[in-house]
Structures are given as structure tokens and as C-alpha cells.
């Protein structure tokens, strides 16, 4: 079966049409003519497997990774890095235009294309394939730091590298971002790309007012809140991961910070009992985004500014639709995950009043 690829989807797959159904095919580019087989078919769409490229795009490049096309870890390595950035820029701009009727020009901050990851997750010594059906064993990952590649042995399930390796659950490591040092435990979250993390945190710090109170929701081990603590009056961080909060409070002492507090609780649950006013609320939720109740509670708090850090554009625009008392002041994207379709965004929002207010 042959089809022409007419555009790209949000997951980096090429889109074509066959028998009046939309077809998604990984590792293809717009204007290519390809041969494919059906991997999965529903009443509405087909997931195809690329068999042969009959007419190649002038934009296609040869992937550097020997596992690319089988391994599901990357989706865009058949594009030049400049084209990857353009793809992500266009994806976000079209999404905001389609969902929020906003005609924006969005800058995407670039990263080093390879050897940027300080953490990888392996499953029985490899990554799942493109169709999430089997594990592709690897002996290196071009996205990972070289120190990680030196210890991959087809056995580990998770490997982190900061100032030393974390392989086992009892291991810890430390990372330094400018003058802030962070303890990182095996099962806690910390950003995987130091280069981009610094750019993101600097952007937040530049755009936050001085001498204010900051509520840091989904705070993790305090990465953002502690980074900006020397500019603001107070930081209160909330996260439901007990180990992350333990690390956050350890990091407070480690850095001799006296204006930050971290509490273990569900963000929505804590907002219900919150009485103190906060000028700025920072939210950095998981891919599922914010809860509807949480959004309403944040709006009831009436902070002057909301800073939304998002790793999933689809849930981001869903939540922005609900934040009706706030208007977007700035948006900037950051390429935290080169060679993949993922992109981080930071939205700066300012209070514009409740509906009906004059």
C-alpha cells in the first residue's frame, strides 16, 4: 500500500490518507511517497509501519543512531536539528491558534542535539520499540551523557548521572545549577537536560517580581523555587512525593536558604486550606496537567501572576482555556528533549479580573 505524506502530527508521525481513513506513519516526512503496512486499524484511523520510501523529502537526513527506526525513544532524528526546532515551533503556534485563537510567534530555545540527558530509563536493558510492543536492547544512547553510555550493560532499569551515577535505589547524586546545589535521589524527579534547565530557570527568574511571596506547586525537590529564592521574599513549595519533599528540605539546609518551606501534600488539597496570599503561583504539573478544581482554587487566590511550566502542549492549552481570569503575557518554548517530539513551554500570565468584574 502506498500513500503520500501530507503533514506531520503532534507526535512527529507523518499523516496520509488511505480508504478514507487517516494514517499515521512514524519516520516519514511531508511530501514523501511511502509504502506501508497496517500495524493497527480502528474505525477512525490506521497506524502504519513504514516499509519503503518511494519518494524521499529533500529535508530527510540520515539518522546518527544505529537503533533509530526500531527504538521508540526518538521520533525526529530523520530531520535536521534546525528542522526539528521549526517543527516544534509550528506545532505550538498551530495549537495555540486552533485551540485558543491566538496568533503567536513562539521562540524555541535550542539545546545541544546529543549527549544532553543526565538520566535514562531502561527496560530490561533497552527501550520499547516504536509500537510499544517489544524491547530494543541498546549499548549506547546518543541522547545520553557519555558517562551514562560507559555503564550501559543491558541490565539496568534506570541510570542517572549528575556528579556521579545513580543506578541503585539507595544511590543519591548532586547537581549544581549556578550557585544552588541539589540532592537527587533515585526515585525523584529532576530535569534531564542541564543546559536547557538553566535557560528555563533563568527565564523564570528574569520574569518574576522581586520581594514577593511565591507558591510553587508540583515543586519536586525544589528545583525552581530554590533557584529563585534569593530574588523573592518567600517560597512555599507543595508536592505529593514524600521523597522529593525530603530532598527539597535537605536542599534548603544544604544551600543555607532561610526563606523557603516545602510541604508534602496534594496541590489541589493544599489549595483548599490555603489562607495566606501569594503574589505569584508557579505550576509545573505532570503531563496530565492541572485538575479543574485546582484551576478554580488558583483563580480564587487571585495571584497577580501565574507561571505555567508545561511538558505537554495538549493539556497546557486545555488548562489555559479554563484560566479565564488570566491573560497570556509571554510564551517561550525550550527544547528539553532534542530528537523527540516533546517540547517544554513556559507561559507567563497576568491577572485580568473575574468574568463580570469591571
The answer to whether residues 317 and 10 touch, using CB atoms and an 8 Å cutoff, is: no
**Can you name the residues that pair with 184 across neighbouring β-strands?**
173
Q: Exactly one of 74, 141, 311, 352 is catalytic; name it.
A: 311
Whole-number Å distance between alpha carbons of 289 and 104: 22
β-strands 135-137, 260-264: how paired? unpaired
Based on C-alpha coordinates, what's the Rg of the chain?
22
Query: C-alpha distances in angstroms, 213 versus 139, 259, 303?
Result: 47, 10, 10
Residue listed under C-alpha cell 511531508: 30
The answer to whether residues 293 and 320 touch, using CB atoms and an 8 Å cutoff, is: no
Three-point CA angle 48, 49, 55, nearest 5°: 95
Q: Is 65 a catalytic residue?
A: no
Three-point CA angle 117, 347, 177, nearest 5°: 40
Torsion of CA 48, 54, 60, 64, to 10 degrees: 70
Which residues are annotated as catalytic? Answer: 311
Amino acid at each position: 500500500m502506498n500513500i503520500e505524506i501530507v503533514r506531520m502530527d503532534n507526535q512527529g508521525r507523518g499523516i496520509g490518507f488511505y480508504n478514507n481513513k487517516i494514517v499515521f506513519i512514524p519516520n516519514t516526512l511531508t511530501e514523501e511517497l511511502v509504502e506501508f503496512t497496517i500495524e493497527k486499524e480502528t474505525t477512525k484511523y490506521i497506524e502504519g509501519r513504514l516499509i519503503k520510501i518511494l519518494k524521499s523529502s529533500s529535508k530527510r537526513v540520515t539518522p546518527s543512531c544505529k537503533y533509530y527506526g526500531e527504538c521508540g525513544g526518538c521520533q525526529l532524528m530523520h530531520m535536521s536539528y534546525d528542522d526539528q526546532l521549526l517543527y516544534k515551533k509550528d506545532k505550538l503556534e498551530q495549537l495555540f491558534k486552533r485551540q485558543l485563537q491566538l496568533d503567536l510567534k513562539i521562540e524555541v530555545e535550542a539545546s545541544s542535539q546529543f549527549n544532553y540527558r543526565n538520566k535514562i530509563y531502561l527496560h530490561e536493558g533497552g527501550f520499547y520499540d516504536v509500537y510499544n510492543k517489544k524491547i530494543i536492547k541498546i549499548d549506547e544512547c546518543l541522547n545520553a551523557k557519555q558517562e551514562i553510555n560507559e555503564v550501559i550493560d543491558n541490565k539496568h532499569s534506570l541510570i542517572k548521572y549528575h556528579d556521579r551515577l545513580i543506578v541503585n535505589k539507595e544511590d543519591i547524586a548532586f547537581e549544581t545549577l549556578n550557585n544552588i546545589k541539589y540532592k537527587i535521589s533515585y526515585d525523584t524527579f529532576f530535569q534531564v537536560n542541564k543546559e536547557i534547565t538553566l535557560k528555563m530557570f533563568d527565564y523564570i527568574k528574569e520574569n518574576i517580581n522581586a520581594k514577593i511571596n511565591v507558591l510553587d506547586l508540583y515543586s519536586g525537590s525544589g528545583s525552581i523555587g530554590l533557584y529563585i529564592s534569593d530574588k523573592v521574599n518567600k517560597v512555599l513549595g507543595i508536592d505529593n512525593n514524600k521523597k522529593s519533599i525530603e530532598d527539597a528540605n535537605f536542599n534548603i539546609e544544604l544551600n543555607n536558604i532561610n526563606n523557603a518551606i516545602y510541604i508534602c501534600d496534594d496541590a489541589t488539597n493544599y489549595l483548599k486550606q490555603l489562607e495566606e496570599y501569594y503574589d505569584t503561583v508557579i505550576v509545573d504539573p505532570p503531563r496530565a496537567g492541572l485538575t479543574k478544581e485546582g484551576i478554580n482554587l488558583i483563580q480564587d487566590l487571585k495571584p497577580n501572576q501565574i507561571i505555567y511550566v508545561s511538558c505537554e502542549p495538549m493539556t497546557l492549552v486545555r488548562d489555559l482555556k479554563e484560566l479565564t481570569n488570566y491573560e497570556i503575557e509571554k510564551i517561550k518554548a525550550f527544547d528539553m528533549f532534542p530528537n523527540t517530539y516533546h517540547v517544554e513551554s513556559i507561559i507567563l500570565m497576568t491577572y485580568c479580573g473575574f468574568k463580570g468584574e469591571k
